[in-house]
Chain A
């Protein structure tokens, strides 16, 4: 079946630190992979996506590369800001399950000045 495993938080970093949030997946077929961000009290916003192996999604300084060989889609940012404090969800969508989304458990990030 399809599933997403995401590193547990919470993660606390100082401003300008390097961020990595690990995400691995299991899927039958060739899923599309996503990172969503949720700010306090709000819904999910798409941060970035990758639809095939070796694709790199990027947005707002965040990057993630679709690694088929390691079934991973780790989120990285070189220098975090206080405004990046949020919960980050890794997700996959697979055509063989009607493009239903499967979410990881979310990782809470707090960036301190």
Chain B
């Protein structure tokens, strides 16, 4: 149980275009989903926290107009990188939490974004 999927696993896009990454909880309802960014050989950086049906909370320094997060249902959250640039190339990982007071997060397999 507690499986989180991400789609696509890899994406290459041209500079200036937008790309959407999906995060799904397959066998549980996720009240909260998290989006992380991982730079090469670095740790995970929390970008934003989203609760189903409400606006995402962004961490300091993360541009909310550039990284659009939508958590429209209890099993799906999307991250859209708008007007992507090469510096947005990174590994994006989502995680999901089933219960509001739970410390457990279940991580997706990640999406490798390359902007050319």
Contact = CB atoms under 8 A, between A and B. Distances in A.
Contacts of A101: 34, 44, 46, 95, 105
B97 A103 contact: no
Nearest to B94: A43
Interface string A40-80: 01111110000100000000000000000000000000000
Contacts of B41: 106, 108
A81 interface: no
A26 interface: no
Contact of B103 (A32, A41, A42, A106): A32
> For the side of the interface on B, what is the size category?
20 to 34
A104 to B, nearest CB: 6
Nearest to A42: B109
B61 to A, nearest CB: 16
A43 B107 contact: yes
Contact of B46 (A45, A46, A100, A105): A100
A99 B102 contact: yes
A24 interface: no
Which of A32, A43, A45 counts the most B-chain CB atoms under 10 A from its CB?
Answer: A43
Which of B95, B101, B103, B108 counts the most A-chain CB atoms under 10 A from its CB?
Answer: B103
B107 A93 contact: no
A95 B104 CA distance: 11
A9 to B, nearest CB: 9
B108 to A, nearest CB: 5
Interface of B: 6, 34, 41-44, 46, 49, 93, 95, 97, 101-103, 105-110, 112
18 contacts: A36-B107, A43-B6, A43-B93, A44-B44, A46-B106, A93-B103, A95-B103, A99-B97, A99-B101, A99-B102, A99-B103, A100-B49, A103-B43, A104-B43, A105-B42, A106-B41, A106-B42, A106-B43
